[in-house]
Amino acid sequence: MVSPLVFSLFLFLLSLVHADAGSFAVKAKYNTGYAPNAARSYLRALQKWGGDVPKGLYQVAAIKDEGSQDAIPTKHDREYLSHITFGTPAQSLLMDLDTGSSDVWVFSSETSDDDNGNRSHYYPEQSMTALQIPNATWEISYGDGSAAGGNVWLDLVSIAGVEIQNATVESATYVSEELSDDPIMSGVFGLAYNYTPKMRPVMPSVLSRLSPLLNTSLFTVDLKWHADSEYEFGFLNSSKHIEPIHFVPLMDGAKYWELSFTKFNAANSKLWYLFNWPAIVDTGTTLLLLPTYIVERYYKQVTGAYESPMGWKYPCKSELPDFTIGFASNYTVTVPGKYINYLAFNDSKDSCLGGIQDNGGIEFSILGDIFLKAVFAVFDIRGGQVGFAKKELN
C-alpha cells in the first residue's frame, strides 16, 4: 500500500504581455490549487518517450486519490500553461507549450465524456474561420490503452497577437480518463523541431506556419523555480541571461530538440563521468529523466535515498546535491539541489520524490523542466541548435 500523497501545486498560468508583429512574449503567473498525481506524471513521461514502465507504477498511478489530499507546504512547479487563442472571434485556451511533440491538439465541443475538468474547450462551430479537413484524423495512444484522437480543422490561431492563418488544429473527439486528469489544461501546443505528426493525412505543423512570421526564427524559454516564467518568440532578450549563450548543435536527423551531453557529476565533485549521452530538451516533461547508471550515481550522494515503484524517493530532511551536466567545448549547466526536490509525501517515512528519475531504458535522456529551470534556453529553428546561457537563479 502506498500512503496518500499530499502536496501542493504551483501551476503557472501564463498571460500575454507583449504583442509586436514578429516578436512576442508569453508571461507566467503564479497559481496554486491543483494537486497532480505524481506517479501518473512519471508514467506519462515514460510512455511519451517509450520507456519501460517499472513494475508497480501502473498500479500506483491508477490510485485515484493519489495526490489529491490536502497540501503541505512543499512547493513545486509541475507544468507551465499559456493562453493561446483559437478561431474568430478569438477563443482563449490554456495550452501546454511542448517542445517534445509536434501536434497542436485541444479539448473541444467534439470531445465526448469530458467531465474530468473545468477547462475551456475549443468550439469550431462558433468560429467563422474554422474549416474541417474531410476524413483527416489524429490519434495518440499508449501501451496501457489510454488514448486521445479526433478530427482535424484549419483555423486562425493567435499567440500573443501574432496570427497564424490556417493552423492545423487537432480537435479531440475522445480523450481517455488517464489523459484528462489535469482539470485546467485545454490542450498541447507542440513545438518540436521536426514534424512527427499524429494525424493522417499529414498537414503542415503549426510551428512551420509560425516560423516565417518571426523576425528571427527562434524561440526562448525561461522557466523559473517557483516564480514567473516566460516564453519569447522571434528575438533574443539579452536581459534574460548573464553570460554568453553557448549553442549545442542538434544531432543528425533529429526529430525533436535532440543533442548530446558529454559529462556529468553530482555534488560538484572533481569526479566527472564522460560519455556521449543523447538527450531531448522537452518543456512538456516535468522531470529530468536519465539512464539508470547516472540516476544511481546521483542518489548515492543522497542519505537514505531508495527506489520505489513510483521512482526514487529520499527522506525529505536529506540534502540534495547539485547535478551538473557538460556539453562539448567544456560548457556546463548546474541544476541546484533544491530544484531537484519534486514533491513531498505526507507519509510515515516523511519521504520526498526526486525530480531526477530513471528514463526506463530509452536510448536518450529527457532534459525536462527540472533542468530547464536552471538555464535560459534558446530553440533555434533555422540554425538547428539549442543554446543555453547562465541566468540569475532564484
Q: Which residues pair with 91 in a beta bridge?
A: 86
Give which of 296, 294, 394, 304 is closest to 352, Cα–Cα: 304
Using the structure block, give the residue that is written with the C-alpha cell 549563450: 245
For the chain, how many residues are written?
A: 394
22-51 positions binding ligand NAG, by CB under 6 A = 22-23, 25
Residue 362 phi, psi (nearest 5): -65, 155
Query: ∠ at Cα 203 (202, 207), nearest 5°?
Result: 120
The verdict on 70 binding ligand NAG (CB under 6 A) reads yes
Stretch that binds ligand NAG, among 17-25, 140-148, 263-271, 313-321 (CB under 6 A): 17-25
Here the cell at position 268 is 560538484
Q: 3-state DSSP call for residue 58? A: helix
Does residue 99 bind ligand NAG (CB under 6 A)?
no
For residue 115, count CB atoms less than 10 angstroms from its CB and return exposed for 0-12, middle for 13-18, buried for 19 or more.
exposed
Active-site position among 98, 182, 222, 358: 98
Task: Please report the sign of the dihedral spanned by the C-alpha atoms of residue 253, residue 192, residue 101, residue 109.
Answer: negative
Annotation marks residue 98 as catalytic? yes
* Contacts to ligand NAG from residues 222-261, by CB under 6 A: 235, 237, 239-240
CB closer to ligand NAG, 222 vs 358: 222
Q: Give the cell for residue 60.
A: 500506483
Residues 329-368 as x/- pattern, contact with ligand NAG by CB under 6 A: -x---------------x----------------------
Contact 127, 135 (CB under 8 A): no
Which of residues 64 and 330 has its CB atom nearest to ligand NAG in the complex? 330
Q: Which of 6, 148, 162, 223 binds ligand NAG (CB under 6 A)?
A: 6
Which C-beta is closer to ligand NAG: that of 194 or that of 216? 216
Contact criterion met (CB below 8 Å) for 222 and 229: yes
Task: Between 49 and 153, name the residue whose CB sits nearer to ligand NAG.
Answer: 153
Active-site residue among 77, 96, 282, 322? 282
What is the C-alpha separation between 321 and 258, in angstroms, rounded? Answer: 26
Binding flags for ligand NAG, 283-322, as an x/- string (CB under 6 A): ----------------------------------------
Radius of gyration for the chain, computed over Cα atoms and rounded to the nearest angstrom: 20
How many contiguous H segments (helices) and E segments (strands) does the chain have?
5, 26
* Nearest partner of 48 among 141, 175, 173, 187, judged by Cα: 141
From the list 8, 88, 166, 334, which residue makes contact with ligand NAG (rule: CB under 6 A)?
A: 166
The single residue among 72, 90, 147, 267 that binds ligand NAG, judged by CB under 6 A, is 72
Residue bearing cell 530532511: 317
Name which of 72 and 90 has its Cβ closer to ligand NAG.
Answer: 72
CB of 350 to ligand NAG, least distance (A): 10
| Contacts (CB under 6 A) with ligand NAG, residues 112-131 | 118, 131
Grid cell for residue 374: 536552471
Q: What's the min distance (Å) between Cβ of 237 and ligand NAG?
A: 4
Comparing CB distances to ligand NAG, the nearer of 6 and 35 is: 6
Q: Under 8 Å CB-to-CB from 197, ≥6 apart: which residues? A: 102, 103, 138, 203, 205
**Cβ distance to ligand NAG smaller for residue 115 or 252:** 115
Is residue 135 within the footprint of ligand NAG (CB under 6 A)? yes
User: Rounded to the nearest whole angstrom, what is the least distance from the CB of residue 124 to ligand NAG in the complex?
Assistant: 14
| Residue 332 Cα distances to 233, 242, 354, 379, angstroms | 25, 15, 21, 18
CB of 97 to ligand NAG, least distance (A): 16
Among 19, 20, 143, 303, binds ligand NAG (CB under 6 A): 20
Closer residue to ligand NAG (CB): 112 or 165: 165
- In whole angstroms, what separates CA 318 from the centre of its chain? 27
Binding site for ligand NAG (CB under 6 A): 6, 18, 20-23, 25, 70, 72, 118, 131, 134-135, 154, 165-166, 215, 235, 237, 239-240, 330, 346
Residues involved in catalysis: 98, 282
